[in-house]
Chains A and B, each alone.
Chain A
Amino acid sequence: MAADPRALVGRITKRFKRRFWGRTFRCPVCHLELSLHDLDAHGLVVCPLCGVVLELDLPYGHAVPVVHDVEIFRPQPTLRLHPMATHIPIGLYPFALLGALLLAALSVAGALGLDLRPVVLGTTTLIEQAILIILVLSVAFSLVTAASGLWDWTFRYRRRRYAQINLKIVTGAAFLAVGAIAIALHVSGLVFSQVTGLMDLASPAGVLAGLLYLAAMAAGMVLLATLGHVGGNLVFGR
């Protein structure tokens, strides 16, 4: 049903997986979803979550993984920087997006002749500045998150190519890019008026900049949610 957002997300995810991951199967021990692309030249894969060494066969197209061994020693950094750092962008970014949506709504109301600024006690310029600070902090800390994630991938996962980690690397880079675009648009003064703190919807350039800004912010949220979801799977399993 189109009205069911969970079903819609499920369909999008399914198509995405089919397109980029191809055939998937689950680790019979921890249930983590793995891709055929994760197998090495010998048809083996070490599950990034539980560490079992799996060999896969596809009799009649059925995925039949066999557990041969388990990797017990998995280097764990003493300072768990990646899981700690990841909470900052994930925790802060939604507030930046909510603030931007609030200002966009007030701007549209203003353009329609409804001055709703008193609803937020006339603090629109303050909100606009807060959005920028939160946005900069999110993107800056995501640099730390990305760097610590690459460190973990190198030492804990021994730079093995997993579809889940590839996805994290790609979405992490994409988040940094859209975050940088959103910050650039914000500080350029094209989106928000420095006097009112609202979007300039009177000029086509202002409308275009506002739409681009909101699109970049929304895309950043989707990417961040994907990063968090995949990261959670890799740590906690299904």
Chain B
Amino acid sequence: MHFDLDAEQHELVERAREFTREWISPNAAQYDRSGEFPLEICRQAFRQGFMNPHIPPAYGGAGHRVLDHCMVMEEFCTGCSGIATAIDGNGLSQYPVILAGTDDQKWRFLAPMTEQLMFSAYAVTEPEAGSDVARVKTAAAKIGNDYVLNGVKWWITNGSVASWYFVLARVEDRPTGFLVRADSPGIVRGPKEHNLGQHASNTVRVTFEDVKVPEANRLGGEGDGFHIAMKTFDHTRPGVAAGANGIAKAALNIALSYAKRRRTFDKKLISNQGISFKLAEMMTRLDAARFLTYKAAWLFDQGRDNTREAAEAKWFAADTAMQAALECAQVLGGYGYTNEMPAEKLIRDAKIYQIYEGASEIQKMIVVSKLMRFKEVH
């Protein structure tokens, strides 16, 4: 067992850190205030090869390992998790295609994304089906060689900029995955949602009204959709956990910088044990969250089952980020509560990690479901 990064990973992390310092952090507050989609930053990320990292080299992509992606996401989210979500949002919809798509589907939907800046979206969540994905009501009726989709998807990341969607819909009673072009007649994209945090991320509703989808765009067989949607999370949850780690890292860096310079009672703030212990705890929790994240990613890269580890990493990293953001604001005192300092944004941004891609409670249910199979835990 060793914990060193190889030279390639070192170089990748350095590049991601430089990109974060130059493009993401300096613009984070501005995009948070305006709610504008960070297209210019995405364009830069595309030019520098940071978008669509999972697409296999056979289709023009970089074919990054999940572990590499986690380290890049941690860096990006240290700058701004909203902008990072805009850059990385494609991954969630691409993975179902990587996992279950035919060669033809991969050429038609993945390969073009490596040639020009494009977005795609994972359209699964519905108003009555969030954590309980199996409840989706969007219907797909087979008519001739086409399916006709009707339903509404809500809180779809990159929904209004996507060129295509991965859509989970029911064929009779069987959840099935479809790849749907965004310019198909009958698709209506709603306005941007005003969320608590991650304002740079584009979250909208997408309505499907008699949208025709050719049979060639069905992903896997009829009824495979739920399995594909769930298997996708084994791949993406370590990345989400890494994003939460980025928030925790930003919180720690900001709190540390402030505590080392701010003076109170004639000494540096960090000289007070009540403050310094907070920093020590933040660092320790961040390390623990990172190790869980990296292990979940590494297991996936080895082709091994990582369902439990990905769930552990996701909930623990989310809680770590939330706690670190709150502690950062506490270290900054009154300044932590103003919107001119980054701490309050971190609190708003961190919350969603305890909710999306399976709430923390769902992650714990996954862990327990695995524990149920053990007689003893080693």
Contacts and interface: CB of A to CB of B under 8 A. Distances in A.
Interface of A: 23, 26-28, 31, 55, 57-68
B272 to A, nearest CB: 15
Given A27-B340, A28-B335, A61 B22 contact: yes
Contact of A61 (B24, B258, B335, B338): B24
Chain A to chain B: the 10 pairs with minimum beta-carbon distance, closest first? A61-B25, A59-B253, A61-B21, A59-B257, A28-B340, A66-B261, A26-B340, A57-B257, A62-B342, A64-B257
Contacts of A27: 340
Contacts of A61: 20-22, 24-26, 79
A130 B24 CA distance: 53
B33 to A, nearest CB: 11
Interface string B234-267: 0000000000000001100110111001110000
A123 B180 CA distance: 68
B196 interface: no
Given A26-B340, A27-B340, A28-B340, A64 B258 contact: yes
A62 B340 contact: no
Contacts of A60: 17, 20-21, 25, 78-79, 249-250, 253
B72 to A, nearest CB: 14
Interface string B12-45: 0000010011101110100000000000000000
Given A60-B21, A63-B342, A64-B342, 11 more contacts: A26-B340, A28-B338, A28-B340, A59-B253, A60-B20, A60-B79, A65-B341, A66-B261, A66-B262, A68-B261, A68-B263
A26 B17 CA distance: 24
A12 to B, nearest CB: 15
Contacts of B26: 23, 61
Which has the most chain B C-beta neighbours within 10 Å: A28, A57, A64? A64
Contacts of A28: 335, 338, 340-341
B20 to A, nearest CB: 6
Contacts of B28: 62
Nearest to A14: B30
Nearest to B246: A60
Contacts of B78: 60
A65 B254 CA distance: 10
Contacts of A64: 254, 257-258, 341-342
B340 A31 contact: yes
Contacts of A31: 340
5 contacts: A59-B253, A60-B21, A62-B28, A62-B253, A66-B258
Contacts of A23: 26
Nearest to A27: B340
A64 B25 CA distance: 12
Contacts of B22: 61
A55 B261 contact: yes
A195 B271 CA distance: 82
A189 to B, nearest CB: 50
Interface in B254-301: 254, 256-258, 261-263
A62 B262 contact: no
A82 to B, nearest CB: 28
Given A28-B341, A64-B254, A57 B261 contact: yes
A238 B238 CA distance: 42
Given A28-B335, A28-B338, A28-B340, A62 B250 contact: yes
A62 B254 contact: yes
A27, A61, A62: which has the most chain B beta carbons within 10 Å? A62
Contacts of B79: 60-62
A8 B20 CA distance: 27
Contacts of A26: 340
A74 B25 CA distance: 34
B263 A59 contact: no
Contacts of A66: 258, 261-262
A61 B256 CA distance: 14
Nearest to B345: A62
A62 B335 contact: no
A201 B24 CA distance: 53
A28 B24 CA distance: 21
A222 B268 CA distance: 47
Interface string B286-322: 0000000000000000000000000000000000000
A128 B21 CA distance: 56
A13 B244 CA distance: 34
Contacts of B249: 60
Contacts of B257: 57, 59, 64
Contacts of A62: 25, 28, 79, 250, 253-254, 342
A190 B68 CA distance: 70
Contacts of B24: 61
Contacts of B254: 59, 62, 64
Contacts of A55: 261
